[in-house]
Every structure is written in structure tokens, then in C-alpha cells.
A and B are shown apart, each in its own frame.
Chain A
Amino acid sequence: AQTVTQSQPEMSVQEAETVTLSCTYDTSESDYYLFWYKQPPSRQMILVIRQEAYKQQNATENRFSVNFQKAAKSFSLKISDSQLGDAAMYFCAYKGSNYKLTFGKGTLLTVNP
């Protein structure tokens, strides 16, 4: 079974600074997808970024980028120029051949003004 580990229960960052959230996963599959979802206080899950395992190039979405290290099974999220609206719970998720999402336990990000 696949597992997703987020080792940082909480993180904080100053507004306009950069923060990196860690995620590691365990799988025996070679073809899979990785996601970062954001859950703000409203509790609406929002897709932040997606990475296909077969792509070597790291995905980027505006201020959000990932560092995907397939051999190390690591998938960290970097948020640049942090904004107050980035404050939320961030979940790393894995999707393999069984089409189901496996979530990590989440990292609560606080952005300080």
C-alpha cells in the first residue's frame, strides 16, 4: 500500500518570504501522480499543483513550485512571496494505478504579517 508522509505538522513564514513544505511517499509503482491540495479555514479543498511521475521537469504554478525527486520519493512544495491568503492546511496526495488519492496528514501553514 502506498503511504504519504508529511513530517511537518506546522510551519510558519513571514509575508513575502519563501517556505518549503516537505512530503515523502512510498510506492512500488513507476507511473503515478502527485498533488498538493490546500484547505483554507473554509475547508474547501483546492488543487494547488500536480506532478506526473514520468515528467522530470518540476511543475510550477505562479508562486508555487515543486521539487520532485523520484528516486528519493520526495515531493516538496515551495511557496514564494508568501501572502496572507496562503495560510491554510496543505495536503500532499498520491494517486497511482488504483485511481484513489492517498493523503498525508497535512501541514498547517501560518503566514505572519
Chain B
Amino acid sequence: GAVVSQHPSWVICKSGTSVKIECRSLDFQATTMFWYRQFPKQSLMLMATSNEGSKATYEQGVEKDKFLINHASLTLSTLTVTSAHPEDSSFYICSASSGGRQTTDTQYFGPGTRLTVL
């Protein structure tokens, strides 16, 4: 149980275009989903937290107009990188939690999406 999927697994796009990444919880309802960014050989950096039906909460330094997050249902959250530029190239990982903002809840991670902007 507790499977999280991401689509696509990798994407290459031209500078200036927008890219949408989907994160789905397959066998549980995810009240809260998290989006991380990971640079090569580095740790995960939390970008934002989304709760179903409400606006996402962004971490300091993350541009909310650049990284649009939607959590329209209990099983789906999307991250849209708008007007992508080469510096947005990275590995994006989502995670999902079933219990919301509870310390006891474990986050389950998706397999990640590698974004390359040319």
C-alpha cells in the first residue's frame, strides 16, 4: 500500500514553455501533498505544501507564480512550471500524506520527474 505515482517521469521542453507534472496517490486519499526539488547530489528541498481544496503554502524563496500548484482532489496534485528556463532544470519529487498536518503521518514519495529545459 501507500503508492504514489508521478507523470511524466522525465520531460524535455524549450525555454519559455510551461510544463505540468502530476502526482497521484494510488491507494489512499492524500489530504496533504508536498513538492520537493532536488539538485544533483544534493538533498531534497521543500518547495510547497498543498492541501486538498485550498491554496498551496510556499516555502520562502519559492516563486508562487513560477511554480503553480493545484490540489483539486484527494488523489491528485499538479505542479506547473510556467515559462520554464534552463535554471528550472531539476528533479522534482512529490510526496503524499493521508492525515494532513499531523506529526504522526508518514510521507510517501513518488518516483520523481526529471525536467530538462533547453
Cβ-based interface call for B111 (8 A): yes
* Segment among B70-78, B81-89, B97-105 that sits at the interface with chain A: B97-105
* Residue A97 lies at the interface, judged by CB distance under 8 Å to chain B: yes
Question: Is B106 a contact partner of A106 (Cβ separation < 8 A)?
Answer: no
Bound Cα distance A37, B93 (Å): 14
Cβ A44 vs Cβ B46 within 8 A:
no
Q: Give the number of chain B interface residues (Cβ < 8 Å).
A: 24
Decide: B91 and A99 in contact? CB cutoff 8 A. Answer: no
Please give the number of chain A residues whose Cβ is less than 8 angstroms from any Cβ of chain B in the complex.
Answer: 24
Interface assignment of A75: CB less than 8 Å from any CB of chain B: no
Residues of B near any A CB (own CB < 8 A): 32, 34, 38, 42-44, 46, 49, 91, 93, 95, 97, 100-109, 111-112
Chain A residue with the shortest CB-CB distance to B91: A43
| A106 CB contacts on chain B under 8 angstroms | 42-43
Interface on A for B, CB 8 Å cutoff?
31-33, 35, 37, 42-47, 50, 52, 91, 95-97, 99-101, 103-106
B109 A45 Cβ-Cβ under 8 A: yes
A96 CA to B101 CA, complexed, in Å: 10
Our pick among B44, B105, B106 for the contact of A91 (Cβ within 8 Å) is B44
- Which chain B positions have C-beta within 8 A of A91? 43-44
A103 x B44 contact (CB < 8 A): yes
Contacts of A44 in B (CB 8 A): 109, 111-112
Which 9 pairs between the two chains have the least Cβ-Cβ distance? A45-B109, A99-B101, A103-B43, A44-B111, A105-B43, A43-B112, A103-B44, A106-B43, A100-B46
